[in-house]
Amino acid sequence: MPEPTTIKNPNEPASEKQKAFALTLGVDVPSGATKGSASQLISEALAKQKAAEQVESEAEAGDARALAIATLERSIAGQQALLDDLKGQP
């Protein structure tokens, strides 16, 4: 596993590149997010994506249980993102 990247100026506002990349992962970076928090959101989304891909790979091998788990994980991830968005709003 590659070493984590050190974020320069983690307390500065999230960059447009971070926001755009996060959107490709299905993550909406909240208004006022810092580079550090955006990086954390991106890392979490990538980890979830990798886990889902692994489970889907197992499912493609004929494991129906793994397919059900992958479907549930995607659903839970979507619901978590919605909950996080709602918590961030006044």
User: Number of folded domains in the chain?
Assistant: 1
69, part of any domain: yes
- Rounded Cα–Cα distance for residues 79 and 28 (Å): 13
Q: CA dist 15 to 9, 18, 43, 75, Å?
A: 11, 5, 15, 28
What's the pLDDT tens digit per position in 28-80?
Answer: 999 999 999 999 999 999 998 888 888 777 767 667 777 778 888 888 887 88
User: 35 is in which domain, residue-wise?
Assistant: 16-88
With respect to residue 9, please indicate whether it lies within any of the assigned structural domains. no
Of 10, 7, 6, the closest CA to residue 34 belongs to 10
Mean pLDDT confidence for 24-31: 93
Query: How much is the pTM?
Result: 0.60
pLDDT of res. 5: 65
Q: Which residues contact 45 (CB under 8 A, 6 or more apart)?
A: 22, 25, 26, 27
